[in-house]
Structure formats: C-alpha cells, structure tokens
Amino acid sequence: MDNNEIKNSNEVKKVVIAGGGTAGWITAVALAKKLGHILDITLIESNAIGTIGVGEATIPTSRTFHQLIGIDEQELMRATNATFKLGIHFENWLQEGVNYIHSFGATGKESWIAEFQHFWLRAKEQGMGGNFGEYCLEHQASSQKKFACAPGMDINYAYHLDALLYAKFLKNIAIEHGVKYFEGKICTVNKNHNNGYIDSLVLESGQTIQGDLFIDCTGFEALLIEKTLQTGFEDWSHLLPCDAAVAVQTETTSTDILPLTRSIAMGSGWRWCIPLQNRMGNGYVYSRRHISDDQAIADLLKAVDGKPLNEPRVIKHRPGVRRKVWNKNCVAIGLSGGFLEPLESTGIHLFMMGVVRLIQFFPFSGINQSLQDQYNGLAVAELTGIRDFIMLHYHLTKRDDTQFWRDCRIKELPNTLAHRINLFKNNAHAYQAAGELFRVDSWVQVMLGQGIVPEHYHHSVKLMSDANLAGFLESIKAPIQEKVKSMPTHADFIQHYCRS
C-alpha cells in the first residue's frame, strides 16, 4: 500500500482545527455536537489574525444545519442582530432600470410532465398569466416587506446576520460541548518525513499540538492545505470576472427592513446591501482589471445610504478551488478550500457542507484514498455547480455601458452552463442535477430575470382549456395574496420574534 494512500490503520481520534472565524467554529460545533463523545477536538485561533467577517447573508440550508446541531433560531437571531431573508433583489443586472427577485420559494405547481413555467408561458401567449413572481409566496412577501413564520407554516427563508457575532455565538457553544481552545499564532507545521502527513502544529508560545486529522480553516492563507502540503489550486479567474471586494458598515436610515439581500450592478461589478437589526452591511465586489481599489472605495461610499461606521476594507481574492480539498490528513473547510464571490450568498453554506460531508465520511478507522476521493469529488462538483450559476448572471447581461460588462458578455462558457442556457432558451426546460444546490425554481427565476424568453414550451399544457388554465393560475395566486395580506411587516415580526 502506498504511504500516500493510507496513513495507518489506527483510529482517528484527535482532530485539530487550525483557525477560528465562521468556518472554524461551524466546524467545531458540528463535530462536537455529533461526534464529540468519540473525538478529541481542539481549535487554535489567533487574535492577531483578522477575520474576514463580511459574509452576512445565508441561504435556507443554514436553517437545516442549525436544526441538525440543535441551535435555537430565536436565540441565534437575537445574538447576531439577525433579520430574515426571502431571496435576493437583483438591480440593473440585465440592463439599467430592470430589476428582478430570485426568491427562495417554489413557484406555482407542476405536473409530472411539465414544470410550472410551461403553464405560465402558455398563459402569457394567451394574454394572461401576469408576472412569474405572482405565483410564489416568498416573492410576494418580500416585495411587500412582509414576513411571518410559525411551526408548520410553509415558507422558505434564511438569515442576514453579523458574521463576527455568529462566530462568537458558535464559539461559546463549541467550548460548552468540550472543544479545547487555544489562542495563539501557528508558527510551524511539522510533517512526518515518511509519508508527508501533518504530525503537529507549533504555536509561537512554543506549545506543540498533535493530531490525527487537521482541518484547515485559515482562510485565504491556506496554511496547511497549500503552504504546507502544496496541494495546488484550480484558478477560475477566466470564468468569473471579479477578484476583489471592499466592505463597509453604515448606520440604518429607515425603520423598514427589507427581507431581501440587494445586489446592485455597478460599473465594474456589483454591490451588496444587507440589512441587520442595528446597521447595514455594504460591499462592492469588483474587477481590479477594470477599476482601482481607491476608485472602488470612492464609488461604494458615494452609493451607500447612512453614515459609515468603520473604515472601508479591501479584500483581494482569487476564484477557484483546491485540486484536493482533502489531501493526506488535512481537510480544507472555508476559504482555504476555495472561493466563489458572495453573489448568491453561498459562502456559509459551503462551510456547513464541508463539515457535514466530513461527518458523513469521517475516517474513524484510518485515512484512505477512497474516502478522500469521494469527499473531493462531491465538494468540487458542488462548487462547480455554484460557479456556473454565478456565471449565468454575468453572461446573460445586455449591458454594454462599461468595458467590464462588455467583457462579461463575451466570456467563454463551460459546456455544462451553455447546455442549460440553450435547453431553457429553446425548450423552457430547467433541471437540478443530483447533488446540486440550486433548484429548478432558482434556475428559472434567474434565467427569466436575466432576459431569456423561451422559444417553445411543452405542448402538454395545451390540453388545458384557456378557462381551466386561468382557473388553475388563480387557484395558486389568490391564496398567496391572502396569506401575504395577513402577514405583519418584516420589521414588526422581528420586534416580536427576535429583537436583539
């Protein structure tokens, strides 16, 4: 057996997490809650190393994760100044003045033969049907700044939250559940001379921490997975145009709280606007090939509402993924494993999936190649699917007012994405492949929002008479209207449910 394929036959009992922040503490809590009774878990975090802390928007999978590890939603939201999120409001992406919502909900009803968009397209052809979003509860509630949730209520939502407070919240839970915590900077990574595995980490204090499995949560530094193991990186800069972001927090200027993340197209990228209970989170994701850092800062400060609460911070990044997210006895979770810009708020989701996958494929009986291959294949496939979904927004723009947007339109597409676009454009078909994050509803909403008008639809919907089709659509739309009408405003619901 090749030494690079298996470390030894001994059980893996001691896990060392290098780095804290959101990724580190998500990993620590999940391992402690689910495997803490059979694992020795240690986390090392340096107060001297800053946390990125700008990823303040999540997607609905975060709720599932929190339920899995037993986190109380109201307690979490109060501790993190959180608000609710029903989707993303895209502004000026197709062209100036054209907006649409990518909501988290299901739209309409489908048959086993044809999805709802086919019924809607037939109705549009017959001069009825209205807007696609009228058939989605989350879309209608968010557009009217309404929100409500209760046990048994069928509404799909996520959170806006303060990432630094979120990490602190998770840290307290992890330590309560037995995670050993060391504060200090890692100065040396010791490797086994025979097989190249990591044996231990040495802190500046001189303390040595040994482990069987090491989790790299050191962010873009990638101290273990790259600087130590030299795993390699697949660069996606030729596919995704942005390579930097500047972030700033501002005072809240309105008592209304939008239950949406705003994504507003700018001259050389886009800016986010994320409402928390106590402030606004803002940022400009941009291409340094098209605009300087100083100009990006100036453009962001000019665009935001409210007084800045901190100095703008520039974060440079490179889109892509490690060639192996799990290499030898090191698993990269978080920014150390790969990065995609936060256009669809997938960052925290990827942290969570990284540790869920690790729990599912944990190497209790020893680290072997089959586990690594399965873990790596699933991780890269998910990241690739998200990459394609993000590319969709850029490629389908009709903007030509700046060189940035002109360049986005002519980028060569991966075959996987080109096929999806053609399938929808020609036939109105969309799909969610096995293991993919984004559902059919998401693909349809964004492709329609970005200007695709399908040329054809499934003719099975023609079997329904115009009168029956109108009645079918009304049977979906009317209950949504009534439910939204009865909802409180988002701000009022927060005051009652989870006020910080």
Instruction: Check 7, 33, 85, 324 and give the catalytic one.
Output: 85
For 133-149, write each residue's pLDDT tens digit. 999 999 999 999 999 99
Residue 10 CA to residue 28 CA, distance in Å, equals 22
Per-residue pLDDT of the chain (500 residues; tens, 9 = 90+): 444 444 445 789 999 999 999 999 999 999 999 999 999 999 999 987 665 556 589 999 999 999 999 999 999 999 999 999 999 999 999 999 999 999 999 999 999 999 999 999 999 999 999 999 999 999 999 999 999 998 888 999 999 999 999 999 999 999 999 999 999 999 999 999 999 999 999 999 999 999 999 999 999 999 999 999 999 999 999 999 999 999 999 999 888 999 999 999 999 999 999 999 999 999 999 999 999 999 999 999 999 999 999 999 999 999 999 999 999 999 999 999 999 999 999 999 999 999 999 999 999 999 999 999 999 999 999 999 999 999 999 999 999 999 999 999 888 899 999 999 999 999 999 999 988 999 999 999 999 999 999 999 999 999 999 999 999 999 999 999 999 999 999 999 999 999 99
Q: Is 191 a catalytic residue?
A: no
Residue 260 CA to residue 220 CA, distance in Å, equals 28
Three-state SS at 226: helix
Residue 347 CA to residue 81 CA, distance in Å, equals 19
Domains and their CATH numbers in the chain:
14-83+160-234+322-373 (3.50.50.60), 107-155+387-490 (no CATH)
Q: Return all residues near 287 (Cβ < 8 A) that are at least 6 apart.
A: 241, 242, 243, 244, 268, 269, 404
Three-state SS at 353: helix
List the one residue out of 176, 160, 163, 175 whose CA is nearest residue 50: 163
CB atoms within 10 A of CB 250: 18
List the one residue out of 176, 164, 151 whose CA is nearest residue 74: 151
Dmax over Cα atoms in the chain, in whole Å? 79
CB atoms within 10 A of CB 410: 7
Q: Return all residues near 124 (Cβ < 8 A) that are at least 6 apart.
A: none
- pTM for the model stands at 0.95
b/e 67-99 (16+ beta carbons within 10 angstroms → b): eebebeeeebbbbbbbbbbbbbbbbbbbeeebe
Residue 73 CA to residue 313 CA, distance in Å, equals 30
Q: Return all residues near 435 (Cβ < 8 A) that are at least 6 apart.
A: 378, 381, 382, 385
